[in-house]
Amino acid sequence: GAVVSQHPSRVICKSGTSVKIECRSLDFQATTMFWYRQFPKQSLMLMATSNEGSKATYEQGVEKDKFLINHASLTLSTLTVTSAHPEDSSFYICSARAPRDFYEQYFGPGTRLTVT
């Protein structure tokens, strides 16, 4: 149990376009989802915390108008990178927390975004 999926696994887009990444909890309801960014050979940086039915809470330095997060249901959160630029190229990872597990986050496999 506790499987989190992401779609797509890889995406290439042109500079100036927008791209949407989906994060789904497959076998549990996730009241809270998290979005991270991972640069090559570096650690995960928390971008935002997403609670179902409410606005996401963004970490300092993360542009909320650039990275739009929607947590529309208990099993789905989406991250939209708007007007993407090459510097947005990165590995984006989501995680989900089930109500029963206060401490544990279940991670998705990640999405590799390349902006050309």
Partner 1 sequence: GNSVTQMEGPVTLSEEAFLTINCTYTATGYPSLFWYVQYPGEGLQLLLKATKADDKGSNKGFEATYRKETTSFHLEKGSVQVSDSAVYFCALSDVGAAGNKLTFGGGTRVLVKP
Per CB under 8 A, does 93 bind partner 1?
yes
DSSP 48: E
**What is the total residue count of the chain?**
116
Separation of alpha carbons 24 and 67, rounded Å: 18
Per CB under 8 A, does 75 bind partner 1?
no
Q: Which residues contact 21 (CB under 8 A, 6 or more apart)?
A: 6, 7, 8, 11, 78, 79, 80, 81, 92, 94, 111, 113
Per CB under 8 A, does 57 bind partner 1?
yes
Q: How far is the CB of 93 from partner 1 (least distance, A)?
A: 6
Per CB under 8 A, does 99 bind partner 1?
no
Return the residue of 43, 61, 65, 100 that touches partner 1, per CB under 8 A: 43
Binding positions for partner 1, rule: CB under 8 A: 4, 6, 32, 34, 41-44, 46, 49, 51, 57, 93, 95, 97, 102-110
